[in-house]
Amino acid sequence: MRQMPPAHPFDDDKLKEECGVFGVVGVADAANFIALGLHALQHRGQEAGGIVTHDADAGFQSARRFGYVRDTFTSQKVMETLPGPIGIGHVRYSTAGSKGSTAIRDVQPFFGEFSMGGAAIAHNGNITNADALKRELIDRGSIFQSSSDSECIIHLMARSLQRNIPERMKDALRRVEGAFSVVAMTRTKLIGVRDPRGVRPLVLGKVGDGGYALSSETCALDIIGADFVREIEPGEMVVISEGKVESFHPFERTASRFCIFEHVYFSRPDSILEGRSVYETRRQIGVELAREAPVDADLVCPVPDSGTPAAIGFAHESGIPYGMGIIRNQYMGRTFIEPSEQIRNMGVRLKLNVNRALIKNKRIILVDDSVVRGTTSQKIKDMLLDAGAAEVHFRIASPPTMWPCFYGVDTPDRDKLLAANMTVDEMCKHLDVDSLQFISIDGLYRAAGVASGRDAAAPRYCDACFTGDYPVKPTDMIAKGFELKTVAE
């Protein structure tokens, strides 16, 4: 039996997006397009992937595998089992309902057979009332096959009295709280939906003369040669068939709250979000950071690769030279075969190495995207000092991460978040660096294009991980004892 690749032993100090979704209709060999799209979205989920297609002769076909797309969906033998002009796919980390799960039954897309035909669904995000929904559904006779919160949607669709799949999906998603970008398919229709606040991304692309694609990010449209059409709006459902896109708004309209961490870290820098280049936003974060937290130093270095655009912006604004003081081993991934204890003790050096000739005797400004637990930051600081750096100053391209995310991001419990338990000065002493500064929440908003900064009364983004301001109540977590932010905090 194929083993799931072990989690990288040195990647536990980053927030992880949990899913990427992709779908296509109106093309020959849809599965090949989906595999390419999922490959481009691999950064959003590296644990497992799945593809469902439909062919007039073969019907619905599916394949779900652990590991990277390049290792699992490039085999001709596998791809030949997935014929048809329509299909959807999904890459994942463990969802909130299945932390640490290695069961293939938890790998999406999920499929259901209804009286009017079959349907498959793939979901990016997290359902914050999934526990309550699951108890209700089980009490009413539903039998769950997975531990994923996403399966609730299939069961809610099965219980709907509506006469077609899109209407049943509307019914189901009106019961769901939290964040969701969904791609789904019937025998002939490709469907895309975003939650009313638009927390997670979803975009529409045009493929050739009559085909269409739905994707978590625009970079996956680029890889298949699709033209970007537009973003799916918050609260919008699109139904695509026979070269036609129909748009519906089945939810009560509310203020959008797109995840600002998509701009900071999750999305690929070559994607476009809200009409803005992700790379340019990250570079501008570095510019704002240099204005807010200047420091006298000799060299600006990124923690590769996520800190690179911000470091470039910081260097340009400050006038301090930019240099690759840390080099990433591009071949050190999550599929690294079970390291021995001795190799594990080498720590982050397996993944990152210091460019000694560049940083020796220099005062280094180290730019990273975030500090979560702080364990990796300490190791990188030690590496720089061991290699002869005179000083190490950390500049962080996001505000302090003080609260867990319940909308589709793998976040530690609050007591594991360094910034939730220490002031910035205490964190600086804990990390034993010469200085530590984070970009302000207003500076982050300015970098994302909101010139006035954050409006506390009506923030444009979901920034709960920084502020504790949750746009959707985390119903299940509150039932388990999670305490929301108080006025004093």
Reported pTM: 0.91
Annotated active-site residue 19? The verdict is yes
The pLDDT value recorded for residue 95 is: 42
Q: What is the mean pLDDT of each run of 10 residues along the chain (489 residues)?
A: 38 69 97 98 94 97 95 93 98 59 85 93 95 96 92 95 94 95 97 97 96 98 98 98 95 95 95 97 98 98 94 98 90 48 58 92 97 91 95 98 91 90 97 97 98 96 97 94 78
- Burial of residue 484, with CB atoms counted within 10 A of its CB: 0-12 exposed, 13-18 middle, 19 or more buried: middle
Domain boundaries, the chain: 16-257, 282-447
476-484 contact pairs (CB < 8 A, 24+) = 476/128, 476/129, 476/130, 476/131, 476/132, 477/128, 477/406, 479/131, 479/132
The pLDDT value recorded for residue 4 is: 36
The pLDDT value recorded for residue 431 is: 96
The pLDDT value recorded for residue 375 is: 87
User: Is the four-CA dihedral 386, 391, 397, 400 of positive or negative sign?
Assistant: positive
- Multiple choice CATH, 16-257, 3.60.20.10, 3.40.1350.10, 3.40.50.1220, 3.20.20.60: 3.60.20.10
**How many whole angstroms from its chain centre is CA 479?**
26
**Active-site pick, 19, 219, 301, 465:** 19
Domain 282-447 sits in CATH 3.40.50.2020: yes
The pLDDT value recorded for residue 305 is: 87
The pLDDT value recorded for residue 412 is: 79
The pLDDT value recorded for residue 410 is: 78
- Bridge partners (DSSP) listed for residue 60: 54
Distance CA 473, CA 20 (A): 23
293 DSSP 8-state letter: S
Q: List the one residue out of 95, 40, 94, 109 whose CA is nearest residue 69.
A: 40
DSSP structure string for 104-164: GGGSSPEEEEETTEEEEEEEEEEETTHHHHHHHHHHTT----SS-TTHHHHHHHHH---SS
